[in-house]
């Protein structure tokens, strides 16, 4: 137990602090540029609809979704879901967020490799997450520790490694998908000539801050896997 707390302190805690900073950064940057409105006075919802038509993607609809920064592209329903604040706003932050989600829709249309790979990983990660905790609970009920060896211990050990490993792989696959969507957003906005260079700079800062949260998620997942491996194998060595 003390080893677990020690490892958590020196490995996981800094990663969690970094993740908290990344979340603070994206919120503060978005709030700053959500009050800087584009000189063309076009809303994010209007712009995305225009760009969908220009790219022959009228089969995709644009709708609103509750919450703040809950914007996403749903490939199952072919919908770009924008938070109400983004949809009706003409801020440079809103335009960047909306075009980022349009970037994901374009990735799906083009069968962009990293996007397709990530899409495959998501249900696998969900299944692994669902199966891991029943194994842990059963181990506790029957007093099977992963450090004790045996069939039950080995099943729990490799299940844990597999779960955390998939989480790392999923977060790693997410990075090129998100950065590519942001690059597409900036390219579209520059090509449309809607934003001035100063406004475009603000949009970049918003998207870069958002990307930092995905870097933080990767760091946390890697540290979780490392922590799990160190604790388990240290306990097995001591037994």
Enumerate the active-site residues: 101
Angle, alpha carbons 83-86-91 (nearest 5°): 170
Helix (H/G/I), strand (E/B), else coil: 228: helix
Q: Are 141 and 134 in contact (CB under 8 A)?
A: no
Q: Are 226 and 160 in contact (CB under 8 A)?
A: no
DSSP letters, 29-83, are HHHHHTT-B-TT---HHHHHHHHHHHTT-TTSEEEEESSSS--EEETTTTEEEEE
Angle, alpha carbons 25-28-31 (nearest 5°): 145
What is the C-alpha separation between 42 and 61, in angstroms, rounded?
18
What is the C-alpha separation between 28 and 142, in angstroms, rounded?
48
């Amino acid at each position: 137990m003390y080893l677990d707390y020690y490892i958590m302190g020196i490995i996981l805690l800094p990663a969690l602090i970094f993740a908290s900073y990344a979340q603070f950064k994206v919120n503060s940057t978005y709030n700053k540029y959500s009050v800087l409105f584009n000189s063309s006075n076009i809303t994010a919802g209007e712009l995305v609809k225009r760009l969908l038509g220009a790219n022959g993607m009228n089969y995709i609809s644009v709708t609103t979704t509750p919450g703040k920064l809950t914007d996403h592209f749903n490939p199952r329903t072919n919908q770009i879901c924008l938070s109400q604040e983004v949809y009706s706003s003409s801020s440079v932050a809103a335009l960047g967020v909306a075009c980022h989600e349009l970037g994901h829709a374009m990735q799906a249309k083009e069968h962009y490799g990293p996007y397709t790979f990530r899409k495959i990983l998501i249900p696998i990660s969900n299944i692994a997450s669902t199966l891991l905790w029943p194994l842990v609970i059963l181990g506790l009920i029957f007093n099977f520790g992963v450090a004790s060896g045996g069939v039950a211990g080995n099943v729990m050990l490799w299940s844990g490694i597999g779960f955390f490993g998939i989480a790392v792989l999923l977060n790693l696959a997410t990075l090129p998908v998100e950065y590519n969507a942001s690059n597409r957003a900036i390219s579209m906005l520059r090509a449309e000539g809607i934003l001035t260079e100063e406004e475009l700079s603000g949009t970049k800062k918003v998207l870069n801050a958002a990307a930092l949260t995905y870097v933080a998620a990767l760091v946390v997942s890697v540290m979780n896997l490392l922590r799990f491996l160190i604790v388990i194998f240290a306990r097995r060595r001591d037994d």
